[in-house]
Amino acid sequence: MKKTDVIIIGAGPVGLFAVHQLGIKGLKAVVIDNLDKAGGQCIELYPDKPIYDIPAVPECTGEQLTSRLLEQIKPFKTEMFLNERVDEVYQEKQNWVVKTNNKKEFIAPNIMIAGGVGSFEPRKISLKEAEKLEGKSVFYSVKNKENFKNKKIAIFGGGDSALDWALELSKFSKITLIHRRNEFRGAQHTLSQLKKLEKEKKVLIKTPCQIESLDNTKELKSITIKFDDGKIEKIQTDVILGFFGLIMKLGPIAEWGLNMDKKTIEVNPENFETNKKGIFAAGDICSYPGKLRLILSGFHEVALASVECFKRARPNEKYRFEFTTSSKTIKERLGKK
């Protein structure tokens, strides 16, 4: 079990800035996130889209904001646990214990929930048979290419993931790319490569249509798709790969005994503490009168919450407010002279 001062749940912009605000106060933190990289919604939903309302940054993309925050917190050498979803939270005397889906354990006097709208999960095919075959012949990501060799693969989706995998897997498998409309959304060179492969009959493209049924429940042999004009077609298929994008699910957070308002956690706007002492919530996931879901609001929220975290993590020390510009201690913590 790893011991620290604050367990931060969520590596989005607010979780990352929490590392900074805690770090300059001399507190250690760990960051846990369900995604495979830091950045949260900024990275998953709008990496290339501009943000215009970060103070003193007239314009930056979601990706730029994330990389700048990562640079800003570098001096604190904070450990990040990615691909880990927090499943369980319980109290142990003055501390909180956090357990992840991969059985990692953490203990700290404080938890900072900066979980956005919950964890990102792939949207799945809503047919019952697809659920039964998930992990056997229905997949929503490619972990190991080798498992997709010499197969008849039906790829669903119209975005970058669907297109990139159609191109890559067409090198050694028979690909049918299926999308609900005629237009694909992807990089220009990917689209022209795809056109070329279609001409060479290496990739079959079926649009505009959607999945109607999986024809076998034990072992997948074929699927049936339905075109917009009502036409039905059967396609020989061993494997289905679905890329319908990610959806956000609140997940286990709802079961930790926190006071909730729909999908958000109610906090005290003085210190962003929830109804449980030592559990804080900041960013999109918290709610209080007048709450705005802005990144800058999240920055403010973790700054205030970090003061309360200090009091709980260092009960015998007095908290002293300091400016980064003039504090010798803070400069040392930042590695500046």
Partner 1 sequence: MPKITYKDYQGTSKTIEVESGLSVMEGAIQKEIPGIDADCGGSMACATCHVYIDDKWFDKIPKAEDAEIDMIDMAFEPKKNSRLSCQIIVNEELDGLEVTTPAKQT
Block residue for tokens 């889209």? 49
Interface with partner 1 (CB under 8 A), residue from 123, 149, 196, 328 = 123
Dihedral sign from CA coordinates of 111, 116, 117, 121: negative
What's the rounded Cα separation, in Å, for the pair 250 and 115? 8
Crossing angle (nearest 10°) for helices 188-199 and 160-169: 40
3-state secondary structure of 315: coil
Q: Is 180 in the site for partner 1 (CB under 8 A)?
A: yes
Residue number with CB closer to partner 1 (245 or 269) = 245
Q: Is 181 in the site for partner 1 (CB under 8 A)?
A: yes
Give min distance, CB of 244 to partner 1, in A.
6
Of 107-115, 157-165, 199-207, 296-304, the window that binds partner 1 (rule: CB under 8 A) is: 157-165
Q: Is 284 in the site for partner 1 (CB under 8 A)?
A: yes
Q: Is 76 in the site for partner 1 (CB under 8 A)?
A: no
The structure tokens listed for 261 are 């308002």
Q: Is 165 in the site for partner 1 (CB under 8 A)?
A: no
Q: Is 12 in the site for partner 1 (CB under 8 A)?
A: no
List binders of partner 1 among 39-58 (CB under 8 A): 41, 45-46
Residue number with CB closer to partner 1 (21 or 41) = 41
Q: Is 28 in the site for partner 1 (CB under 8 A)?
A: no
3-state secondary structure of 102: coil
Q: Is 263 in the site for partner 1 (CB under 8 A)?
A: yes
Dihedral sign from CA coordinates of 193, 197, 198, 202: negative
Q: Is 301 in the site for partner 1 (CB under 8 A)?
A: no
Nearest to 114 by CA among 320, 327, 297, 331: 297
Number of residues located near partner 1, criterion CB under 8 A: 24
Q: Is 82 in the site for partner 1 (CB under 8 A)?
A: no
Q: Is 226 in the site for partner 1 (CB under 8 A)?
A: no
Nearest to 309 by CA among 90, 20, 27, 113: 27
The structure tokens listed for 216 are 């076998």
The residues with which 30 forms a beta bridge, in sequence order, are 7, 79
Positions touching partner 1 (CB under 8 A) are 41, 45-46, 117, 123, 126, 157-159, 179-181, 183, 185, 228, 244-249, 263, 284, 293
